[in-house]
Structure 1
């Protein structure tokens, strides 16, 4: 799978704001590095507070292999700010645009029956954080 690339200058020149697949000679492989990672524990049980309790057979079983993603990329512009991502980011703006399009596509009565959007909190960055309820009947 080719990584996604976002070139600030390319998007400015084309009047877009899009990520595109790019890069050549893409390799993804297990390397020789290992780390402790509780999320990858082989065995666990839950305590009375429903918190996972990890049990390892030995010290070596706590270690998890890491992987490397390598690729080649030829920059199209000098002094460009370029971002790489394993998958195309889905931003809050993307979500808000999508919800706006949905609100225009369907009648309000229908949406009110299956969809509810409530503000949960405000993030440290000042963005609204919503709870979306989508079901066959929100009442």
Structure 2
């Protein structure tokens, strides 16, 4: 019988990127075990639990260099408030500057935007559009 080495505590309870697992010395073969699910490009999920919106946003932003949480997803994270027809927690909106390729993937809506320094901040380790920019982005979507 094959024994599976437990994941480190820092990864066992949250979504994580391939880069995080490599930094902790986890072999690629270990990520193919039955207690870890493929969460999409460069993302892995420990089996057996649902993940909160903020956890999914954090790992998607971490797996996408240059990207930050934006639009209605940023409004949810910052507590900005949204009209009833917005606020779908199933899709994470990620933005990147025009110079970088658009974000693509399951569960992600990608945007390429012009960004001014100071319009992106970190909230609990997640890069997020500031509320004023978020408000303008969501107003354009109406």
Q: For this structure pair, what is the TM-score category when the shorter chain's length is used for normalisation?
A: under 0.3
TM-score w.r.t. the length of structure 2 is: 0.24
Bigger relative contact order, structure 1 or 2 (CA pairs below 8 A, ≥6 apart): 1
Which structure: greater strand fraction?
1
Pair member with larger Rg: 1
